[in-house]
Amino acid sequence: MNPDEVIVSEIEKAFPEAIEEVSEFRGERTLYIRKADLKSVCQFLRDQQSLQYNFLTDICADDMLPEFPRFAVNYQLYSIPRNHRIRLRVRVEDPEDGPETVGSIWAIGTWLEMEVWDLMGVRFKGNTSLRRLFLPEDWQGFPLRKDYPLGYEEVQFSFNFDEINAKKPHATKD
């Protein structure tokens, strides 16, 4: 049995309801995990002797607009002893009601979740350090969401130079 099938059968044995869907694309296996089960599945994946996913590589959120549920959070797991990668994907309907934090399982989890919160606005239950990280404290909105504008400024050319110049802030000596 290849490692991809091992993990699915192991999880199904321990948590019969947890896996919503299994997909494969370009040789990468993605397990869609029910949001409520995520933390226990992660704990299981790390501690089970036959799995040992001891390395949390990345957490990344994805805005699937206009699909529903709109948000998805990816957990890239890697097992150093078994040299195997797996991706857990959690669908999130309401970003304020996100999955539980995995900071107690892998220490890096808290830090990675902070990035997701700052840029995508998915709140992780139980993570008390969620705050503005990259953006100034008073920033409104979450830039990586699809409904957030890129914030493009018009480019000055010679034909519209004066028009834009008049609107631009200009610094002075004091």
Contact between 100 and another protein per CB under 8 A: no
Contact between 158 and another protein per CB under 8 A: no
Which range binds another protein by CB under 8 A, 11-19, 32-40, 92-100, 162-170? 162-170
Contact between 13 and another protein per CB under 8 A: no
Taking the C-alpha atoms of residue 72 and residue 75, their distance in angstroms, rounded to an integer, is 10
Contact between 90 and another protein per CB under 8 A: no
Taking the C-alpha atoms of residue 19 and residue 14, their distance in angstroms, rounded to an integer, is 11
Taking the C-alpha atoms of residue 126 and residue 101, their distance in angstroms, rounded to an integer, is 6
Toward another protein, which CB reaches closer, 40 or 104? Answer: 104
Contact between 76 and another protein per CB under 8 A: yes
Toward another protein, which CB reaches closer, 19 or 86? Answer: 86
- We find the least distance from the C-beta atom of residue 73 to another protein, in angstroms, to be 11
Contact between 52 and another protein per CB under 8 A: no
Q: Is 90 helix (H, G, I), strand (E, B) or coil?
A: strand
Contact between 137 and another protein per CB under 8 A: yes
For 136-160, letters b (16+ CB in 10 Å) and e give eeeeeebeebeeeeeeeeeeeeeee
Contact between 36 and another protein per CB under 8 A: no
Contact between 140 and another protein per CB under 8 A: no
Taking the C-alpha atoms of residue 127 and residue 66, their distance in angstroms, rounded to an integer, is 28
